[in-house]
Structure 1
Amino acid sequence: MSKSEFWKEMDDVRAAMLGIGSARHVPMSPYPNEKEGVIWFITAKGTDLVKAIEAGETESSLIVTGNGEMHARVEGKSELVQDRKKLEELWNPVASSWFEGIDDPDIRLIRFDPDFAEVWATKGSIGFAIQIAKAKVTDEQPDMGDHFEVRF
């Protein structure tokens, strides 16, 4: 899988687990941008993720699983960004359900810059079922897809 394929798969991810520094991983909606080479998140003031960044912690990891045909562990760095234009670009019904509108003063943007990803590309749930059935009939290990690394 190339970097381009990674970004294409990320476009289909609706939820992933983001952890920053000592802040535990929590479910977040990622907004990947291949052109920028970053993944954006909309969160709120006072969350553990925001507190970690404010305390100077930037080392981050994103866990992607069960979305489409890609499972991944993505490592990188995060920072808080104030960018009204970017917020307007990302704003959507999911984000709006957490805030009192785009002008809510509690809104914070997190910019996640990936450095490295360990990726498992699977054949999806139907492909998984076929491989398991095939393995039972042939007594061979199932082909669960490819495992590789992507550097950014």
Structure 2
Amino acid sequence: MANQDDATRLWELIDKIGFCMLTTRSGDDLRARPMSAYTAQLENAIYFLTDVGSHKDDEITRWPNVCLAFADTKGQKYVSVSGTAEVQNDRERIRELWATPAKAWWDNPDDPSIRILKMTPASAEYWDSPGTIISYIKMAAAAVSNTKPDMGDNAEVKL
């Protein structure tokens, strides 16, 4: 089990980045698509709004292991989360999570085609660098001095 500071930082990064690529299994292939994440740290869960007619819901029903990849390329912050997912029809949770991005897909939270995708993380890893410019400077200095650059924090977290 990772220390509490690593777990706290992991959840902070997920919250800050907000969007991720959700990777599911589709037969022998892997498929990734962008999703807007809603965290519930106390529940050890990450929620998404999804549509009942989407392929990812069928894929998750058959193969529940998924991976989330969060990236803030400008800030040089990255998170990879592995766990299991399930599709739920929790109408109260849908109303709780309803936000502006959802309006691009549905008219209102009462749309009967909206579902909840709940991801329960099992493990994660994050890379938290001081930023692009500082990272480049550190890499250049390390190259000149034949040392390895300190690129920020990296931790594996069991959840």
What TM-score comes out, normalization by structure 2 length? 0.83
Contact 2:135 2:151 in 1 (8 A): yes
Where does residue 14 of structure 2 map in the other structure?
10
Is 2:70 the counterpart of 1:64?
A: yes
Q: Distance in 2 between matches of 1:125 and 1:91?
A: 34
- 1:129 Cα offset (Å): 3.2
Match of 1:93 among 71, 95, 100: 100
Contact 2:51 2:115 in 1 (8 A): yes
Where does residue 49 of structure 1 map in the other structure?
56
Contact 2:94 2:114 in 1 (8 A): no
Provide the secondary structure at the position in 2 that maps to 1:12: helix
Comparing 82-91 with 121-130, which one deviates more in the overlay?
A: 121-130
Where does residue 41 of structure 2 map in the other structure?
34
Q: Distance in 1 between matches of 2:81 and 2:123?
A: 6
Contact 1:20 1:60 in 2 (8 A): yes
Opposite residue 60 of structure 1, the aligned amino acid is V
Where does residue 124 of structure 2 map in the other structure?
117
- 1:75 Cα offset (Å): 0.6
Provide the secondary structure at the position in 2 that maps to 1:17: strand
Comparing 132-141 with 10-19, which one deviates more in the overlay?
A: 132-141
What is the Cα-based RMSD across aligned positions, in Å? 1.9
Where does residue 85 of structure 2 map in the other structure?
78
Say how many residue pairs are matched. 151
Where does residue 19 of structure 1 map in the other structure?
23
- 1:27 Cα offset (Å): 0.9
How big is each residue's C-alpha offset from its partner over 1:69-109, in whole Å with a ceiling of 9 and x where there is no partner?
53122110000111122111111101112112212222121
- 1:141 Cα offset (Å): 3.1
Contact 1:7 1:33 in 2 (8 A): no
| Structure 1: runs of 5+ lacking an equivalent | none
Where does residue 104 of structure 1 map in the other structure?
111
Provide the secondary structure at the position in 2 that maps to 1:35: helix
What TM-score comes out, normalization by structure 1 length? 0.87
Identity of aligned residues (%): 33
Matches within 5 A, 1:121-132: 121-132=128-139
How big is each residue's C-alpha offset from its partner over 1:112-135, in whole Å with a ceiling of 9 and x where there is no partner?
000001222211223323323433
